[in-house]
Amino acid sequence: TQVPFLAAGAVQVNQDPSEVRVTAGGGVALGCQVLAAEPWDLLRMEWVKDAGEGVLCATRLHSSTPVPLSNCTSRLQLAWHPPRATLSLHQVQEDDTGRYLCRVTLEI
């Protein structure tokens, strides 16, 4: 496995799966792996849908805290197991269709 090169202060975010189909009423887990060039203390993570519908879930992640306190909508659950966050969506409905983006900001 090749490890990506990150410049000082850089953060790389990888999401998976790239595409998934889910039956109505089912559930899905979306992964977001965070790789940082240097040790960090605090990240802000936001999950957004279709980049225009606002933030579905937001939290601040501490490097040493396994489970964050998050502000998520009722059917969403966020888990943090460094360096990976997982957003789980329960009881999927037709209007959940869309593109989901994990947005990460390194806070100083």
Reply yes or no on whether the pLDDT at 5 is more than 60: no
| C-alpha to C-alpha distance for 100 and 20, rounded to whole angstroms | 11
Mean per-residue pLDDT, 73-87? 87
pLDDT tens digit string along 39-77?
888 888 999 988 666 788 888 887 766 655 567 878 899
| C-alpha to C-alpha distance for 71 and 68, rounded to whole angstroms | 10
Q: By percentage, how much of the chain surpasses pLDDT 70? A: 82
Question: Which domains are assigned to the chain?
Answer: 11-107 (2.60.40.10)
Largest CA distance in the chain: 44
Q: pTM of the full predicted structure?
A: 0.80
Reply yes or no on whether the pLDDT at 27 is more than 60: yes
